[in-house]
Each structure stands twice: as structure tokens, then as C-alpha cells.
Amino acid sequence: MHDQKDLAQLTAAQLRAKWRKAHKGQIMPQGLGRDLATRAIVWRDQERIHGGLPRSAQRELERLAMLIVVEK
């Protein structure tokens, strides 16, 4: 599991490599700050170890996100 303090010491290239590994090969979004990228990597580790959100919660978040997109 990654520690936020350890990730903070990485170069930008190393952080992008950790992102790709944690997010199954996805490229880190351009403009994503170091702090948020680090938190997302740690979150993904925790999700893998302890399990993610229940599927019902995921569906509800997806539904709410679609409402936000439609309202814009």
C-alpha cells in the first residue's frame, strides 16, 4: 500500500507511473495536481485492500453525476 508521504517524494514521472499502475494503465489526467493524484492513488489502494463502494452507492453517484451534467 502506498503512503501519501512516500508518494509526495516522487518525481512527476514516478507519480504518473504509480497512477498508471493503480488505475489499470490509464494515463493521469492532464492538469491533475500532485495532491489530488496522490490522494487518488492512496484511495485506489484502500479500495483494493478493503473493498470499494457498494454497487448501489456507485449507481447512485453515477445517477447524481448525470443530473449535474444535464443541468449545465
pLDDT per position as a tens digit, 5-45 = 888 889 999 999 999 999 999 999 999 999 999 999 999 99
Q: Is 10 exposed, middle or buried (0-12, 13-18, 19+ CB in 10 A)?
A: middle
Q: Which three cell numbers stand for residue 72?
A: 449545465
pTM over 0.85: no
Alpha-carbon distance 69 to 63, whole Å?
10
Alpha-carbon distance 7 to 10, whole Å?
5
